[in-house]
Amino acid sequence: MKGNRLVRLAQAFGLGRLICLVLLAALVALRIGNPAPLESLRVRTFDFYQTVKPRQATVQPAVIVDIDEASLKAFGQWPWPRTLLADLVAKLTKLGSAVVAFDVIFAEPDRMSPAIAAESFRNLDAETRAQLLKLPSNDDVLADAMRRTRVVLGESGHHLVVPAEGPRPPSAGFAMMGPDPRRFLISFPGVINNVAPLEKAAAGRGLLTIQSEPDGIVRRVPMVMTAQDILMPALSLEMLRVVTGAGAIRVKTDTAGVASVAIPGLELPTDRNAQLWVYFAPSNASRYVSAKDVLEDRVPPGRIGRKLVLVGTSAVGLRDIKATPIDPAMSGVEVHAQVLENVLTKSMLVYPNYAIGAELVATILFGLVIIAIGPILGASMMLALGAVVTAGLAAGSWYLFAQHRLLIDATFPLLATFLIYLTLIFINYFREQLQRRRIRSAFGQYLSPSLVDKLAHSHEALTLGGEDRNMTILFSDVRGFTTISEIYKDDPQGLTTLMNNFLTPMTNAIIDHNGTIDKYIGDAIMAFWNAPLHDPLHEVNACNAALEMLTRVDAINVKREKEAAEAGQRFIPLKIGVGLNSGRCVVGNMGSDLRFNYSVLGDCVNLASRLEGQTKSYDVPIIIGSKTAQAVGDKFALLELDYITVKGKTEPEKIYTVLGRADVANSERFRHMHALFNEMLALYRRQDFAAAGEAIVRCRAAGEGFGLSRLFDIYSLRIGSFQKDAPPSDWNGVFALETK
């Protein structure tokens, strides 16, 4: 009784609604799992927002001192002597810079330091050498200039552990609020730092590493990372710490990850991995000042005074290019500058930790609305509801971005509700089609599914007549079928079972590759491609079907051999020959007004049948015509067999066999054998039979395992015959077949 009530309740609720509830639960789980394609769709939506409304950089608190082409031309190639960089730091200090940060790494001592230079000079007198050795190194000169101001050095995370040369100066301090953030942070096994004198003189050190996302675009910049098991701030964050005089950086975490990074007076909301979502403004030349102008005292103090200065390079070969949502080629140093602008103007984007909760609530709410009232509403009302939902979600997401710089994804709730909507439509459509499918199933036993579908939608197709098309025709036949039939002379039912077990996988191989079965002729099959539906790859699909038929015959033989052994019966393996040919044919409903079949006629069909017959002569399982071979190109391992005229025809035809797909065609064994056989054919057709005879010997050795022994025998016999009795002077290499 209780079971009946549950059944009635389920019927009242509806199978469609139940399925959609399960789908909604699966979609919620998918969002929680957050696979890479879903993440990519979300961030590209946020990219679109920035493209439509990029940040307007009305205030530029950071300036980039650019080691540009003009600077290199004036002061020489990079790297510059550290003494020149010391002059640059001194001039920036004089101009009133708030802090100077280097977006370059000084990982090795300056090779132009006096002591190092003295060791590299030849025939240097002792007095000069001694004087050079007394001079301070260029690194010490730069370090001395750095001590007179606030300089932050850039370091880089590295994928390998880099041994440190001596003890490193302590890095910025960190204060933790909440769980340990290390498991959420981007981590590097190693770090590339600067030479010791510069590290000791620096007011701070920060990682300048900016990681692109999987699609190569920079959207987020990590503010705190670990490098060689040490907590490290980003270069931009360290600049802010140094300029504010803060003693430590506060990292706030919760169970979802990092929530924010802060220094006194500034709190930076980040994602769970301590990455800041950057709201990019277009690249602007006003952010840049040439290092040449600074060194030549041609920069007004107001241009540098009280600014956060980043020293970087835009010179060709030195420029660090980063793709951003609004610029495919922005300098890495400008990304750091834009981070500083975001922080100091409080214009950074925020993807809060509660964003996923908001997206899930929207998904569940709108999904339940669609499930509840979708089956009740008509098509037009349902479409209107979908439009309202779409507009509401999209507008809400855009409003939060444009007015509050909040990143709340609307694409997933939209995608989820759309999938639920489509599922409801499909279920209704399925119900309507169920009866029609039952009717079709009866005809599907005799016609290909594509033809059944065409006939179901176009009743006018059931008329006599045909159309001219370029098609590929297949004939297949079982070799030695008479011998196999003798085994079943007292068991005709067993022979029927065998043929059914054979024809079913052969038919499926053809249908699976878009073929249409024309007819069965005993153990033979006739099929064609590119009708009734157009198939631009009909030659390729036909060759794939032929190879699949061979594979399935092998599987049938394995099973039959086992069954024969268990029954103590004689086992004769099934072998088939397949002929393929492409060309113009007439295809359509042919027959009488009382009975007709969808079939194909033409000379191309006759040649395909003849090619199938020749598989016995050449002892290869597949033979294809020249037009088919030309169409499939290098997608298969093709080998030219012969240049023949079939019985009843005068026009010669080059024929080929298919030895495998592209993997075989690209193998070294096949290429070697193919080249040798083509060389033999060329010699044979030039009537250089002695050389051709030597070539066929090499072909045998190279062709082991390809099943071409009979082919090599044929050419050996022909060559031997022609060496005794030369062909006529007008012989063109064509061999006339005397059998079908």
Q: Domain locations in the chain?
A: 2-53+352-431, 64-108+149-344, 465-666
Burial of 349 (C-beta count, 10 Å sphere; 0-12/13-18/19+): buried
**Amino acid identity, residue 683?**
L
Of the spans 244-258, 418-432, 534-548, which averages the highest pLDDT? 534-548
Identify the pLDDT of residue 642.
Answer: 95
Q: Say yes or no to pLDDT of 464 above 50.
A: no
Confidence class of residue 430 from pLDDT cuts 50, 70 and 90? confident
Q: Say yes or no to pLDDT of 434 above 70.
A: no
Q: Say yes or no to pLDDT of 400 above 50.
A: yes
> 60-100: per-residue pLDDT in tens?
899 999 999 999 999 999 899 999 999 999 999 999 999 99
pTM of the shown model: 0.56
- CB–CB of 658/546 below 8 Å? yes
In CATH, what class is 465-666? alpha beta
* Residues forming a β-bridge with 383: none
Q: How far is CA 428 from the centre of its chain?
A: 35
Identify the pLDDT of residue 33.
Answer: 85
Cα gap 224→347, rounded to integer Å: 19
Query: Pick the residue with more confidence: 594 or 409?
Result: 409
Average pLDDT over residues 452-459: 57
Give ∠ CA 245-251-252 in degrees, rounded to 5.
Answer: 135
Provide the 10 A C-beta neighbour count for residue 624: 30
> 598-650: per-residue pLDDT in tens?
789 999 999 999 999 999 999 999 999 999 999 998 899 999 999 999 877 77
> 475-514: per-residue pLDDT in tens?
999 998 888 888 888 888 888 888 989 999 999 999 989 8
Identify the pLDDT of residue 443.
Answer: 42
Q: Say yes or no to pLDDT of 235 above 90.
A: yes
And the tokens for 416? 């989820």
Q: Provide long-range contacts, Cβ within 8 A and 24+ apart, for 546-549.
A: 546/474, 546/476, 546/578, 546/580, 546/622, 546/658, 547/622, 547/636, 547/658, 547/660, 547/661, 548/509, 548/512, 548/513, 549/476, 549/505, 549/506, 549/509, 549/510, 549/576, 549/578
